[in-house]
Amino acid sequence: MKAALVFTGSGPILVLTTYESFAASGFVEKLEAKGLNKFIAHEVSVDLAKKKYGQHFDVVMKDVKETDDLRVLDYNGHRVFHNFSFKDLGAPYQHE
């Protein structure tokens, strides 16, 4: 499981994924299906995401309506942006 802070045209979102890489075609296709054709993804620690989101993290992981390969943990860009420090972000992956 990976967590990614994904910068999009409308602001950042936080996603959880089972894809090994943000460059994986399946990961990119899932985001494109949500209308995200251009993005910058930074890996963040799953443990840190779980710590910051607590019970909400567990709820999202148990949501049967979401697929196992991509779950949106937070789509409130303001909250996502302020929950993580730049030092928490891994190297960027850019897709256009």
How high is the pLDDT of residue 65? 63
How high is the pLDDT of residue 66? 61
| Euclidean distance between CA atoms 39 and 60, whole angstroms | 22
Residues 35-64, buried b or exposed e (16+ Cβ, 10 A)? ebeebbbbbbeeeebbebbeeebeebeeee
How high is the pLDDT of residue 67? 62
Q: What's the domain count of the chain?
A: 1
Q: What is the pLDDT of residues 15-67, one digit of tens each?
A: 999 899 999 999 999 999 989 999 999 999 999 999 999 999 988 888 756 66
pLDDT score of 76 more than 70: yes
How high is the pLDDT of residue 34? 87
Is 14 in contact with 4 (CB distance < 8 Å)? yes
Q: Which domain holds residue 70?
A: 2-95
Q: Please compute the mean of the pLDDT values over residues 4-18 and round it to a whole number.
A: 94
